Chain A
Amino acid sequence: MDYELDGNSFPADEEGYLTDITVWNKELADLIAKDENIEMNDDHWEVVNFLRDYYEEYQIAPAIRVLTKAVKKSLGEDKGNSKYLYELFPYGPAKQACKIAGLPKPTGCI
């Protein structure tokens, strides 16, 4: 399933993860989010940007438990908990947020 934006086509795998992480941009993120029935607000962006930074640093998309812990460390307890992250991304914070962030599916995610 590919994403279409401004006449360009961006290849994705059968689950909707971009196959080339370098083509990602904010408009594409909005489009992927819409596909996931998510209207992006500042809180969503904060997590998505956090994931982009995490990937840049470690070259992987973190499993949910690891993401939660890392968010807690850098953004505080109010945000570093499963409830907060699931409210933002109801179908799984690691999976959905990674998809919107243009990253691969998290390692250790079945």
Chain B
Amino acid sequence: MAEEFDDEFDGPVKRFLFVNRKAPYGTVYALESLEVVLISAAFDQDVSLVFVDDGVFQIVKDQDTDGINMKNFSRTYRALEGYDVEKLYVEKESLDARGLTEDDLLVDVEILDSQGLSDLMDAQDVVITS
């Protein structure tokens, strides 16, 4: 009987969108947001992430933090799938403006234009921007 050991959360499920706008290092926003994402997912919430502006740098491949003495947490984004967080989006304009393409990213994402992003936000119960 595995049921009695399950720690599934059976409270209300809300649609959360985490909007990531800032570069991964220099401030704590990206790391803190990722922690809240993981906690939300552990409580079986419906979680989506979108990367906008310098936030797209959070999921760029081959990050090297040796020179700034900070933990390289970029690989944690690859753990999101295991937390059943599979809805990751990137705004097209933000990628284009930084000369990046989907191939530069370390996770699979869906590319949205600003109208798509607006529709995505409309569909949420909670939008958390950092």
Write the residues of chain A forming the contact surface with B, with a CB cutoff of 8 angstroms.
57-60, 62-66, 69-70, 81-83, 86, 107-109
Contact = CB atoms under 8 A, between A and B. Distances in A.
Contacts of B8: 65
Contacts of A108: 38-39, 41-43
Given A107-B35, A107-B39, A83 B82 contact: no
Nearest to A81: B2
Main secondary structure of the interface of A (DSSP, over half): helix
B78 to A, nearest CB: 6
Given A58-B78, A66-B82, A82-B7, 8 more contacts: A58-B76, A64-B7, A66-B83, A69-B82, A70-B82, A108-B39, A108-B41, A109-B42
- Most chain-B CB neighbours within 10 Å: which of A62, A70, A108? A108
A81 B3 CA distance: 10
Contacts of A63: 38, 41-42, 83
Contacts of A60: 38, 73, 76, 79
A66 B7 CA distance: 11
